[in-house]
């Protein structure tokens, strides 16, 4: 400890002589608590049990907490919220907005263009001390009629057909699909909640319903099934996270992906 004190005094003197102030450590932001309805926009939902898609409210809430690197709690009240924004999309056309995406599957090699554009869900990156808190009976459900799997589409129209009966059960991983008389297209649903490189994340008291029974299913994207995004909670390179009293069910791929 003595040597540490001496070193700090020497550094302090040097900074004073050079006319430079000592750097101050960044202080964490004060914790805040927000309800999802505080992020509602016209037509954007934010309230449970009204049958309005709440996806935009979740996106708005994520943007708020991302701007402050977390440090707070998002309250979801009792009742059912709806999430999931997906539209048919041609790859040579602009995406509906900056927070939408549509990509080839799989990445690299033989792949299929995306049938749809998806709006990004609730995503936080490099955030800390953040909680999503449900109630006694809080549900989040993917909306009906989301495309998932491989499909074909009549050029220039919105006529879409499941590729479940593709000859030879070809998937997007098989280069032979390029020899088909039609283009093989891919659709994913995405993830409800995603955390990249975060610390001290808590998700508590939620029923997460993938609603796959109401999805529009196509053929296989991968050699061993559809195997593309249709998940509840995704944690990438994150630490000290707590998933408490969360029921994730009826998803196309994973309820919890770590």
Decide: 165 and 205 in contact? Cβ < 8 Å. no
Mean per-residue pLDDT for 75-104? 94
In SS3 terms, 26-91 reads as: CCCCCCEEEEHHHHCCCCCCCCCCCCCECHHHHHHHHHHHHHCCEEEEEECCCEEEEECCEEECCC
pLDDT at 13: 34
Which whole number is the average pLDDT over 216-232? 90
Q: What is residue 177's predicted lDDT score, i.e. its pLDDT?
A: 86
| pTM for the structure as a whole | 0.86
* Contact yes or no for 80/141 (Cβ under 8 A): yes
């Amino acid at each position: 400890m003595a040597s540490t004190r001496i070193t700090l005094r020497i550094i302090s003197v040097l900074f004073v002589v050079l006319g430079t102030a000592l750097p101050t450590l960044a202080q964490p932001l004060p914790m805040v608590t927000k309800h999802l309805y505080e992020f509602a926009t016209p037509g954007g939902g934010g309230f449970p049990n009204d049958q309005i898609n709440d996806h935009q409210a979740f996106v708005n809430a994520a943007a708020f907490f991302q701007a402050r690197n977390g440090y707070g709690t998002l309250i979801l009240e009792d009742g059912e919220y709806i999430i999931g924004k997906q539209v048919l999309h041609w790859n040579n056309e602009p995406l509906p907005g900056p927070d939408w995406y549509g990509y080839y599957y799989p990445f690299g090699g033989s792949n299929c263009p995306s049938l749809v554009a998806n709006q990004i869900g609730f995503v936080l990156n490099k955030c800390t001390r953040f909680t999503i808190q449900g109630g006694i009976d809080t549900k989040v459900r993917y909306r009906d009629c989301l495309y998932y799997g491989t499909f074909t589409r009549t050029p220039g129209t919105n006529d879409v057909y499941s590729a479940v009966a593709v000859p030879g059960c070809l998937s997007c991983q098989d280069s032979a699909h390029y020899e088909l008389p039609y283009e093989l297209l891919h659709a994913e649903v995405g993830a409800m909640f995603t955390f990249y490189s975060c610390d001290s994340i808590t998700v508590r008291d939620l029923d997460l319903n993938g609603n796959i029974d109401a999805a529009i299913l196509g053929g296989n994207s991968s050699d061993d099934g559809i195997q593309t995004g249709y998940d509840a909670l995704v944690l990438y390179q994150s630490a000290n996270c707590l998933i408490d009293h969360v029921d994730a069910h009826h998803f196309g791929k994973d309820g919890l992906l770590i």
